[in-house]
Amino acid sequence: MRWTIKPKPDAQSVDILQKALQVDVSIAKLLVQRGIDTYEAAKTFFRPSISDLHDPYLMKDMNIAVERIETALDNNENILVYGDYDVDGTTSVALMSSYLKTRSNRVATYIPDRYDEGYGISYKGIDFAHDNDFTLIIALDCGVKAIDKVAYASKKGIDFIICDHHRPAASLPKAVAILDPKREDCKYPYKELCGCGVGFKLIQALAKNNGQTIEELGTYLDLVATAIGADIVPITGENRALAYFGLQVINTNPRPGIKAIIDQVKKQEFTITDVVFIVAPRINAAGRMKHGNYAVSLLTESDEDLAKTYAEEINSFNLDRREADQYITKEALDQIEKNNEENRLTTVVYDESWHKGVIGIVASRLTETYFRPTLVFTKSGEKLAASARSVPGFDVYNALEACSEHIEQFGGHKYAAGLTLKEENYEAFKQAFEDEVSNTIDRNLLVPEIKIDSELNLSDITPKFYRILKQFAPFGPGNMSPIFMTANLRDNGYGRCVGDDDKHLKLDLVQGACKISGIGFNLGDKLDLVKQNNYFSAVYSIDENHWQGQVSLQLKLRDIKP
């Protein structure tokens, strides 16, 4: 692990903010590091308001999109809400269709089949719309690159409104409206919305046009918060407000489908981390193992008993997904070892039998193991399909763009993408990708990094300090849970390994007269570093330990060094 301490914030800004807020200097430093250096900025950060949301009409084409939808509603046109099969796509479809159904009974949904149709807008979906007399398709979390598909729909008399958040190509589809804050000609002040977030801006605009207030849309925010967490978008600015209020809905009055998932795990209060690791995998499992329609049915169901049945069904898909994930990861690791590819700067593996629905998860597992840009391929019809994952700091989308002569189709983000290519181009692509990464990556990025916010003494860790720290949530990209480092620590002599195969490390850390417990998951091999009264440094986050009705602060250890 590379330990990197973030630059110290400007001392004068820290001093001014500390006096304005009357908080500990450690808190003021953390805030200034995150770009929060005024009383007003801190107020917005700690007390998000629904009024922090931007006017949706600032988004390019929003007025055109609203006008076209209002025309469709007035004329009783059939409207098809189309979205991808992942969490962002299915929550977007649930959100948009639920809202439109409050105004029309001529609204239906369409999720493409991952295996038959693939990612994004499909010709099959357009044919379905034409055969069933739909004259307007609202596409969510996809479509910004679907030039040929939109042209095909237009010839069949079908209009498209696209709500996307992916990077557009040089040319845009000839849709009626394209809502995408990443358009170069879009002046919308916040660029990091997820697909469901863009969909929410559209219903916000429709509601405004219809005399409704933003407060009346609160019931949709559990979907938006779920998509924000699952799609790993920055939890800053507008996303922070949407996630903050979405979590309130999840924890107080979630829709029956999300409540049914929560009831399965019997957890009291959900955080964004819980959304990422508990809610999202179950919703995703529908599209991975069966069909995304199951997820939309769950998320739009109003009957609690039916929602419970759907949730149980989806949970069984998730268990199947876990099993497939485990054996494919093992096979991929064996393949890398067998081919002596441990010393490459990229991981590219392929097996035609691997389940297409889990190759993205397997790519993430391999990235965690070897810490390098990774692609996992499987057979998809006549072509090969892959999921790509990257390491922090390296843009895998740009690397794929540099290899585009070997690729049929690709799309995605800086750290996660998907592509298809012809089987005969696989070896040439594999070498081109290795060459491109070798020529462009900073070798430091191939060593896992822990970014440390600041150094603390154990005496700084008080209940009051932690109470304020908790208010930094919701955590996520752009606002990660603070990481601290403390030097000159000792264990009190009772340090031990715990858990299966002694994988984890349990310590009572001592510095001077101060003592606090710590748990280090997967740090069991570090026990020798703390024996015999040795001094060491530790990197950690702070959380609560709940044990037999007692609550105490503990350090969640990330790494230890002599």
Interval 402-453: pLDDT, tens: 999 999 988 878 888 999 999 999 999 999 999 999 999 999 999 999 999 9
Quote the pTM value. Answer: 0.90
- Indicate the range of 209-223, 406-420, 477-491 predicted with least confidence: 406-420
The pLDDT of 456-463, averaged and rounded, is 94
How far CA 514 is from CA of 340, 441, 492, in Å, comes to 49, 43, 11
Please give the CATH number for the structural domain made up of 450-561: 2.40.50.460
CB 524 within 8 A of CB 504: yes
Average of pLDDT values for 528-540?
A: 91
DSSP annotation string for 482-495: P-EEEEEEEE-S--
Q: Which of 347, 417, 424 is nearest to 384 (CA)?
A: 424
- Pairing of β 107-110 and β 2-5: unpaired
Instruction: Give me the amino acid identity at 88.
Output: D
Q: What pLDDT shows up at residue 548?
A: 79
496 touches 527 (CB < 8 A): yes
For 547, phi and psi rounded to 5 degrees? -145, 120
One-letter amino acid at 141 equals D
Domain with CATH 2.40.50.460 in the chain: 450-561
Beta-bridged to residue 163, according to DSSP, are 140, 179
Q: Average pLDDT, stretch 106-130?
A: 93
Q: Are strands 550-561 and 514-520 parallel, antiparallel or unpaired?
A: parallel
Instruction: Pinpoint the residues of the chain covered by CATH 3.10.310.30.
Output: 339-446
In this prediction, residue 27 carries a pLDDT of 96
Task: Please say if the pLDDT value at position 344 is more than 80.
Answer: yes
| Residues 99, 305: Cα–Cα separation, whole Å | 22
From residue 28, alpha-carbon distances to 19, 42, 278, 469, 512 in Å are: 9, 10, 33, 11, 25
| Residue in the structure block whose two tokens are 């959304």 | 275
Question: What is the per-residue pLDDT for 369?
Answer: 92
Query: Amino acid identity of 196?
Result: C
Percent of the chain past pLDDT 90, that is, above it, reads 88
pLDDT in the model for residue 545: 86
Q: What phi, psi does 94 have (nearest 5°)?
A: -60, -45
Q: Which of 144, 95, 105, 412 is nearest to 283 (CA)?
A: 95
In the predicted model, is pLDDT for residue 342 greater than 80? no
Could you tell me where in the chain the CATH 3.90.1640.30 domains are found?
A: 56-313
Q: pLDDT value at position 500? A: 85
> Is the pLDDT confidence value at 341 over 90?
no
Q: What average pLDDT does range 519-524 have in this prediction?
A: 94
The sign of the torsion formed by the CA atoms of 51, 52, 58, 64 equals negative
Query: Going by DSSP bridges, is the β-strand pair 536-547/550-561 parallel, antiparallel, or unpaired?
Result: antiparallel
Per-residue pLDDT at 3: 96
Q: 478 in helix, strand or coil?
A: coil
What angle do the packed helices 256-265 and 293-300 form, to 10 degrees? 100
- Residue type, position 318, single letter: N
* Each residue's pLDDT tens digit, 357-376: 899 999 999 999 999 999 99
pLDDT for residue 412: 79
Residue 378 confidence (pLDDT) above 80: yes
The tokens of 269 are what?
Answer: 């209060």
pLDDT for position 309? 96
Say what the pLDDT of residue 154 is: 97
Residue 559 near residue 539 (C-beta atoms within 8 A)? yes
Instruction: Check residue 501 and give its pLDDT.
Output: 86
Rounded-to-integer distance, Cα 414 and Cα 399, Å: 9
CATH 3.90.1640.30 for domain 56-313: yes
Which residues 6+ apart lie within 8 Å of 243 measured at CB? Answer: 224, 225, 228, 229, 235, 272, 474, 476
Q: What's the pLDDT score for residue 438? A: 96
Q: What is the CATH number of domain 339-446?
A: 3.10.310.30
Lowest mean pLDDT among 112-116, 147-151, 314-318, 384-388: 112-116
- What are 192-202's pLDDT values in tens digits? 999 999 999 99
DSSP state of 354: S
Please identify which residue in the block is written with the tokens 């924890």: 251
Write the pLDDT tens digit of every residue in 275-307.
999 999 999 999 989 999 999 999 999 999 999
Placement of tokens 């950690």 in the chain:
540
Looking at every residue in the chain, the average pLDDT score rounds to 94
Q: What is the predicted pLDDT for the residue at 296?
A: 97
CA–CA dist 101, 557 (Å, integer): 49
Q: How many C-beta atoms lie closer than 10 Å to residue 529's C-beta? A: 18
pLDDT on residue 414:
86
Which residue in 238, 155, 154, 160 sits closest to 196, CA to CA? 238
Give the pLDDT band of residue 58 (cuts 50, 70, 90): very high
Q: Is the pLDDT of residue 514 over 80?
A: yes
